Amino acid sequence: MLHPLRLAYGLVTVIAVLEARGRAVEPLLAAADIPRFALEEPSYRIRFEQELRFIRLALNALKLPSAGLVIGREFHLALFGVLGLAASCAPTVRDMYRTIHTHSTLAWGCIEHTFWRDGDDEFLSFDENDAVGDLGPFFIERDAAAMLTLLRQTFGPDVTPQAVRFRHLPPPDAGEYDAFFGCRVAFGAARNELRLRRAVWDAPPPQANPMSYRFFDNQCRRLTAVMDEPLSYADVVRSRLRDATPMPSLPAVVETLHLTTRTLQRRLDEEGTSFSALLAEVRRERALELMRRSGMDNAAIAWSLGFEDASAFSRAFKSWTGLSPRQHRDRLRDDFTLP
């Protein structure tokens, strides 16, 4: 069953193809009500309907009959983050595939996959569902091309299917599909399938490691479990403040999030906070850490936290802690020298 919430980052392959062909992305994101910064936030979630709307708009802009094939070729394991690490450490290719399919929410899966065995061949069957409607052929081609792309990136370009079959009608240039898959692709077939020799499925990836595989697979389970938690704009702002040196101002944060100041302030107000409150919180957090772990003087700390000068930092620090930076350092030194 498809999860109603999706990771926005899953659109990155579609966007890469749009930009490579000179198509404007921002109007399509706006039409699907997806903020641009969502593509840079690993935890930003969109509704499944938003994903489908964006993809429909993208396909209309591309006017590319082989869009599923072209976009599927953009996939690589690093794109999947922790899930990609888990897959790369799997004991066999079969486990690698099942890991990706098991955590389909993290892999942006939209259709059902079934694993079959037939003699010396094993194959994936791709099944349309009502949720994707007429986009079924696009997702089937995308997933088949993506799976083979991942295998070739892992084992080299010589990985070739025994057979590739699609139920839908052929595009104007079926030769493009034959050239990519390395075999004659059948259209109008009884089912959608990607067939490979069992020896391919049995092969261990170069980085196979049982302990690492279990570790990353458990992380994937935890990430999947938090998919229902609502996005916090406050957490997004905290992240931007913590990751930048010097700490950015409100206009700078707004620019990186591709939002207006009013929109960000409204979102934070809905969460019961403000940019100034978050800025003070993160400044205090980073100031205490820098004073504890570094030999930086007040001027250097002030610069890293985005203050105009050391005096402004000293006043702010005293308002947070009741101590001046010097008094705080003296206390840290006394605590360290106690027997």
Q: What is the pLDDT of residue 338?
A: 45
CA 78 – CA 84 distance, rounded (Å): 6
CA 234 – CA 200 distance, rounded (Å): 46
Q: What is the pLDDT of residue 5?
A: 82
The token duo for 78 is 């690093």
- Are 201 and 122 a contacting pair, CB within 8 Å? yes
DSSP letter (8 states) at residue 111: S
**Domains by residue range for the chain, with CATH:** 5-225 (3.90.1520.10), 233-337 (1.10.10.60)
Residue ranges of the chain whose pLDDT lies below 70:
1-2, 230, 334-339
- Are 140 and 128 a contacting pair, CB within 8 Å? yes
3-class SS at 194?
strand
**For the chain, what is the radius of gyration of the CA atoms?**
25
Q: What is the pLDDT of residue 75?
A: 95
DSSP string, 229-282: SPP-HHHHHHHHHHH-SSPPPHHHHHHHHT--HHHHHHHHHHTT--HHHHHHHH
Q: What is the pLDDT of residue 159?
A: 95
- 249: amino acid identity, one letter: S
Q: Return the closest-CA partner of residue 271 out of 320, 236, 242, 227.
A: 236
Q: What is the pLDDT of residue 116?
A: 87
Task: Classify the C-alpha dihedral 116-174-68-17 as positive or negative.
Answer: positive
3-class SS at 78?
helix
3-state secondary structure 119-152: CCEEEEEEECCCCCHHHHHHHHHHHHHHHHHHHH
Q: Cα(first)–Cα(last) distance of the chain, in Å?
A: 61
CA 126 – CA 112 distance, rounded (Å): 6
- Are 41 and 11 a contacting pair, CB within 8 Å? no
Query: Residue 144's Cα: distance from chain center in Å?
Result: 20
Q: What is the pLDDT of residue 40?
A: 83
3-class SS at 181?
helix
Chain length of the chain: 339
Q: Return the closest-CA partner of residue 329 out of 295, 300, 305, 302.
A: 295
